[in-house]
Structure 1
């Protein structure tokens, strides 16, 4: 049985695109970058901690697999987490405007005796955003709860002039890497698939 250690409805939706409907685990871990910690190492650590917390939460369930992921927006080695308010969202989006940033997604799967990880790093370029575009996006409230203050699968997709990498990774779960990782644990997302 696959468990998803995430509060993100997008991650569940993405797994369901692979034909997998996981059981959800409501975990909460601190997401604080350590002094001197590289951005990639931070995302990797948080993802692993989510999976570990999820596995602890279902201790004793035989053959359980826990999948967790973390996705962060990075610009100039600064990790843009989820903005706490609209002012924070405006600051983040203003910094991303007209520039290329990275979106790092790391996926972990843990079981009682095994663990493995996969990563996706995508380069996303935004057009120069006008004040009216910023105001409209902030008013939509789509930025809430989103790393970097935007959701590529929503209105902010219109900001993107170039994407080098994984669209689903920018959404929060890179499907190619996730499918390969699941395969290592004996879950073939194409087994029995109908056209």
Structure 2
């Protein structure tokens, strides 16, 4: 009887170790949780939204315009922002309208009334040349990111272009709070 209990205990330990190993692999290489910190992505993402970051999608393809990405801002902090400019492009915002290579681009995720006092509280207009790095076009291997809440976002306008090696992954799912469960950026 004691041998049977010992074998059963060993089987449970093996199952637990396998489960922990799988969880470790998933967490390190495939998906990771993140908590949105602050209002920079309003109205799309809210402060304290809990999300899943897809860490492997950019192993097979590059970020696309308007993907919401998580990237290492520094050694201790990750930011979540939206990709607006891609390699080889010139980006400018003129009168709160995004321009890519001189052509206006619709940003359907922004508030409908971009002329509101809240949206206008900070001057949002810029050209790529005015950003840190003074680039004429976005170099290969870099993207330009902006928060949806342009008046309250630390993004490429302050920190410069983001090296694709800094990108952790694509934010893909809000899972908490329950009333906000949804896929984002699809």
TM-score by length of 2: 0.25
The structure that has the greater radius of gyration is 2
TM-score if structure 1 supplies the norm length? 0.25
Higher relative contact order (CA 8 A, sep 6+): 2
| Greater share of strand | 2
**Greater per-residue helix proportion:** 1
